[in-house]
């Protein structure tokens, strides 16, 4: 007969684990997460369990199992590599009406430990007839579907409220965080930036209100104040609003302004960081923004205004003197003036520069040139925004990687 599934609430209750090997190492953390008071009986333990013991999270009796160890336990886990010991532990537990899980024999075990996973308030537990590998595979599929919203999460009675500022990542829809994708699947309203991963919007339910922050309903350019008003208005209607941005909400994403606007209106705000294109796009082009012996710092600069513009707050002479990597966003259309400023203030004309368009997307392409000629090369190649500009010797590291790969090709 199949098992009767039950969720045990173990907080403050004693659980006995016999055996200090890798099976116990896998099971004890879940018991601790459930609030169990864990007693471990074993002559030896793994290093991971030793850390838990040293931290005072479990009580360890460094000896073999003895009759009487089950006294006072609500649950027993027999996890040794000796069948005779597991049999004796199970027999004592059975005699004392205590549920016991045997790691070595599913048929002789009074209870099974399911393959389990948790997504927010949802716990998934799978037994699969006592087959742990099959159970784990099914568990992973269900948990993954809950996390990315494949399984409908909008029917939850505890759906989030207010506004979530979600970083969508650098462009590839697969690079949004698990948490971000999950919240997107629960949204009633999605306010999306132009650089947000558009492919994710096709997965929204038909009844989700989608507001393009660059076009409708306020015309071609939606002012930040209007975006703030939309977030507050929809949240006050009791709808859960996801503000989906490219990159990270707090890296030139004006997320701070939106958070303040919601806070002033008494709207709860959840911030989900995203992978910023300032690091991800260079990486996708094979360029590390830092590299031992080459650069131990990098600077991320918004070039929405040129270096000679009175509104610019960037210390361009300091950027020119720095030996670190410069990662420039929104710089393509002002690249000639950027290069002029860096050269004037001391950067070498031979400093390598890479400009990457459509980073992380199938249409990604890049141009590499010295600082002295990069603006002309980019113009001739027809590179257009969105693009990331990387200035510094780390560009050569990326080229070296490509050369090594080419040499290894047959």
Active-site positions read 193, 215
The Cα 102–Cα 86 span in angstroms is 7
Q: Do residues 199 and 170 make contact, with C-beta atoms less than 8 angstroms apart?
A: no
53/94 Cα distance (integer angstroms):
28
Within 8 A by CB and 6+ apart from 80, the residues are 18, 19, 21, 42, 65, 86, 89, 103, 104
Q: For the beta carbon of residue 239, count every other beta carbon within 10 angstroms.
A: 17
Inter-CA distances, 25 with 45, 88, 359, Å: 9, 21, 41
Distance, CA of 300 to CA of 387 (rounded, Å): 14
| 3-class state of residue 324 by DSSP | coil
Please enumerate in sequence order all residues whose Cβ is within 8 A of that of 4, keeping only pairs 6 or more positions apart, or say none. none
Distances (CA, A) of 213 to 216, 227, 360: 7, 7, 23
Identify any residues that bridge with 122 across adjacent strands, giving them in sequence order. 119
Q: Whose CA is closest to 385, among 354, 357, 353, 355?
A: 357
- Only one residue has tokens 């579907």, namely 145
C-alpha pair distances (Å), 110 with each of 3, 21, 150, 330 = 9, 21, 35, 63
List the end-to-end C-alpha distance of the chain, in Å, as a whole number: 58
What is the token pair recorded at 279? 């690091």
């Amino acid at each position: 007969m199949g098992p009767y599934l039950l969720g045990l609430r173990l907080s403050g209750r004693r659980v006995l684990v016999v055996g200090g090997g890798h099976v116990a190492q896998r099971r004890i953390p879940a018991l601790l997460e459930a609030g169990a008071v864990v007693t471990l009986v074993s002559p030896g333990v793994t290093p991971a369990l030793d850390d838990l013991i040293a931290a005072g999270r479990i009580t360890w009796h460094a000896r073999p199992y003895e009759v009487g160890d089950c006294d006072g336990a609500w649950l027993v886990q027999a996890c040794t590599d000796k069948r005779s010991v597991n049999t004796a532990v199970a027999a004592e537990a059975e005699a004392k009406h205590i549920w016991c899980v045997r790691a070595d024999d599913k048929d002789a075990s009074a209870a099974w430990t399911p393959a389990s996973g948790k997504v927010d308030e949802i716990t998934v537990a799978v037994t699969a007839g006592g087959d742990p590998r099959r159970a784990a595979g099914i568990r992973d599929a269900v948990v993954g579907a809950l996390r990315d919203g494949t399984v409908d999460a909008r029917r939850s009675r505890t759906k989030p409220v207010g506004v979530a500022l979600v970083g969508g990542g650098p462009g590839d829809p697969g690079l949004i965080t698990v948490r971000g994708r999950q919240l997107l699947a629960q949204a009633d309203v999605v306010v999306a930036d132009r650089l947000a991963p558009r492919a994710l919007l096709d997965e929204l339910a038909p009844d989700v209100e989608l507001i393009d922050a660059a076009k409708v309903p306020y015309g071609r350019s939606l002012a930040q104040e209007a975006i703030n008003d939309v977030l507050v208005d929809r949240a006050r209607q009791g709808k859960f609003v996801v503000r989906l941005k490219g990159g990270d909400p707090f890296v030139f994403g004006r997320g701070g302004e939106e958070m303040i606007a919601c806070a002033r209106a008494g709207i709860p705000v959840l911030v989900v960081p995203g992978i910023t294109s300032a690091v991800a796009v260079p990486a996708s082009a094979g360029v590390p923004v830092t590299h031992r012996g080459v650069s131990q710092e990098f600077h991320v600069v918004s070039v929405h205004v040129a270096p000679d513009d009175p509104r610019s707050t960037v210390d361009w002479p300091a950027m020119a003197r720095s030996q670190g990597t410069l990662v420039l966003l929104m710089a393509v259309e002002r690249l000639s003036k950027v290069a002029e400023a860096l050269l004037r203030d001391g950067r070498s004309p031979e400093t390598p520069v890479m400009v990457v368009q459509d980073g992380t997307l199938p249409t990604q392409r890049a141009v590499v040139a010295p600082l002295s000629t990069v603006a002309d090369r980019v113009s001739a190649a027809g590179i257009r925004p969105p693009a990331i500009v990387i200035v510094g010797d780390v560009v050569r590291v990326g080229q070296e990687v490509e050369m090594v790969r080419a040499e290894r090709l047959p």
